[in-house]
Amino acid sequence: MQNSQPSIPLLGDDFPTLHVQTTHGEMNLPEDLKGQWFVLFSHPADFTPVCTTEFFAFQKRFEKFEKLGCQLIGMSVDQVFSHIKWTQWIRENLDIEIKFPIIAANDSVASALGMLHPQKGSNTVRAVFIVDPQGKVRLVLYYPQEIGRNIDEVLRALQALQISDEQGAMPAGWPKNELIGDRVIVPPATDEATASQRLQEHDCYDWWFCHKPLQK
């Protein structure tokens, strides 16, 4: 018996090709954002308290995402006029303007991204996709409807991914790791000669755990 569940993008997969309607007009993903990072995050429904706090938090950090060359994109299965009315409410009542587009997704779009979980009702769960300039899925997070996301963690993960592509692996809690602070982990050696050399070239706890200063 074949599995009828939709395929969910996994790490390293190409982000699914989607044609969507947003509050900023029609978009083709990931084609329209080729060459830049983007964060697509879904929310269960407009005009709900937890989602409103998340959108407020994302917008407060909008410029930080922009400085990292990253486009924010919101999404739920609400219709676009609902998104527009909600962002107007946010502007008028919370004194902040939502500057990123919000997708009005149909069920097929939401299902393609694994955002519809039957046991959680008909609304989209709180999903986060970080996609790189090549259109590859680099990070996936799913939160239940009842728990709001930590937007600083999304920002931290984006920055860590960008640095790791150039410099090496990032430790737990970077840039405030309890062992090595904001330093970068050197990839483990794969042969004996390199293992011995690592101990001479880097600060190490052992040959398999070496670290180096972050290049800023």
| Mean pLDDT across the chain | 90
Q: Which of 51, 70, 204, 210 is catalytic?
A: 51
Tell me if 52 is assigned to some domain: yes
Tell me if 87 is assigned to some domain: yes
> Catalytic site residue 51?
yes
pLDDT at 116 over 80: no
pLDDT > 70 fraction of the chain, expressed in percent and rounded? 91
**Which residue in this structure is represented by tokens 């395929």?**
7
CATH number for 109: 3.40.30.10
Q: Name the residue range of residue 177's domain.
A: 168-216
One domain, residues 136 and 97? yes
Alpha-carbon distance 101 to 81, whole Å? 13
What pLDDT sits at residue 2?
43
What pLDDT sits at residue 124?
65
Parallel/antiparallel/unpaired status of strands 126-131 and 37-42 = antiparallel
User: Looking at the 3D structure of the chain, how many domains does it have?
Assistant: 2
Domain end (from 96, 122, 149): 149
What pLDDT sits at residue 3?
44
Number of DSSP helices (H) and strands (E) in the chain, helices first: 6, 10
What pLDDT sits at residue 145?
83
What pLDDT sits at residue 57?
97
What pLDDT sits at residue 58?
98
Alpha-carbon distance 104 to 78, whole Å? 6
